[in-house]
Copies of this chain bind each other. A is one copy, B any other.
Amino acid sequence: MNDKRLSKSLDPLPEPTLRRLPWYLAFVSMLRAESVEYVSSTRIAEELHVDASQIAKDLSFLNIKGKTRIGYEVASLEDALRFFLGFSSRHDAIIVGAGSLGGALMQDSGLQRYGLNIVAGIDNDPKLAGHKIAGIPVYSPQHLSDLIKRLEITIGIITVPVESAQAVADSLVGAGVKAIWNFTPVRIRVAEGVVVTNTSIYSHLAVMYNRLLSNHSDF
C-alpha cells in the first residue's frame, strides 16, 4: 500500500473536494482574466460561501499552499486546478447515439476545452452514419469495437434511448473503454474497475420542476 502511494499517479480525491474544485477554478480563472495576482482563502470563501479552512484543506490535497498574508498566486493556482481536474490532458472519447443530445454534445466545443476529445460518433440511423457532425465522423454500430481498439479510446459516452443503454454499455466495456459517461437515466451495470459517471440532465429538470411547484403552492 505504502509504496503505491509513493508511485506515479494521483490518489483519488474525496468526491466532495472534487466537486468544489471546479468552483475554485471558475473563480480564479475570472480573477486571472482581471489580472489579479494573489487571492486569499478568505476572499475565495466569501465569494463561494465555503468555509476558508475547508478551502485550505481542499487545496492542500493538490499540494498547494498559500503564503501568509498574501494568499495563493492566482496563475499557478489556476494551472494546478486545471491539471488536477484533468482538464489539461487530452481524453479520447466515442459517443454512442448521435441524435438530439449526442449531436448537441458533439457540437459543444466547450468539452474540448475541458480535455474531452470526441473522436467519433456511433449511430444506427442511416441518415447519420457516414456523415459528420461538427467535423466528427459518425459510424454505424458495427464499427464500434474496431474504432475503440484501433484508436485506443478510453471513454464511452452514452446518449442513446433508455432501452439500448445497457447493451451499449456492454459493447463499450467489451471493446475496452475504461470509463463511461452515461447521459441516460438508466442505472447501467459494468464490470468492476470501469468508471461510470452519470449525468442525467432530465433528472435535474425533474428536481427543478418539483421545487418550482412546491414554491408555487405557497401563493
Complex CA–CA separation, A86 to B202 (angstroms): 11
Complex CA–CA separation, A114 to B101 (angstroms): 13
Chain B residues with Cβ below 8 Å from A9 are: 213-214, 216-217
Chain A window 93-105, contacts with chain B (Cβ cutoff 8 Å), 1 for yes, 0 for no? 0000000110111
| Residue in B13, B104, B111 whose beta carbon sits within 8 Å of that of A205 in the complex | B111
CB distance B214 to A86 under 8 Å? no
Interface residues of A in 54-98 (CB under 8 A from B): 84-87, 89, 91
State whether the Cβ of A19 lies closer than 8 Å to any Cβ in chain B: yes
CB distance A215 to B187 under 8 Å? no
Scoring A189, A204, A212 by chain B CB atoms within 10 A of each residue's CB, the highest score goes to A212
Given known A25-B185, A204-B181, contact A154–B212 (CB-CB < 8 A): yes
Chain B residues with Cβ below 8 Å from A15 are: 207
State whether the Cβ of A109 lies closer than 8 Å to any Cβ in chain B: yes
> In the complex, how many angstroms separate the beta carbon of A69 from the nearest chain B beta carbon?
26
Complex CA–CA separation, A200 to B199 (angstroms): 9
| Residue in B179, B200, B211 whose beta carbon sits within 8 Å of that of A208 in the complex | B179
CB distance B23 to A210 under 8 Å? no
Complex CA–CA separation, A12 to B206 (angstroms): 11
Complex CA–CA separation, A116 to B197 (angstroms): 24
CB distance A104 to B114 under 8 Å? no
State whether the Cβ of A108 lies closer than 8 Å to any Cβ in chain B: yes
CB distance B104 to A108 under 8 Å? yes
CB distance A100 to B91 under 8 Å? no
State whether the Cβ of A7 lies closer than 8 Å to any Cβ in chain B: yes
Chain B residues with Cβ below 8 Å from A213 are: 9-10, 86
Chain A window 178-203, contacts with chain B (Cβ cutoff 8 Å), 1 for yes, 0 for no? 11010011110100010101011111
Chain B residues with Cβ below 8 Å from A36 are: none
Sorted nearest first, the 9 A-B pairs with minimum C-beta distance are A86-B209, A9-B217, A104-B104, A12-B214, A85-B206, A197-B208, A22-B185, A22-B203, A195-B211
Q: Sample 6 A-B pairs with CB under 8 A, ordered by A number.
A: A12-B210, A26-B185, A85-B209, A104-B108, A116-B205, A199-B201
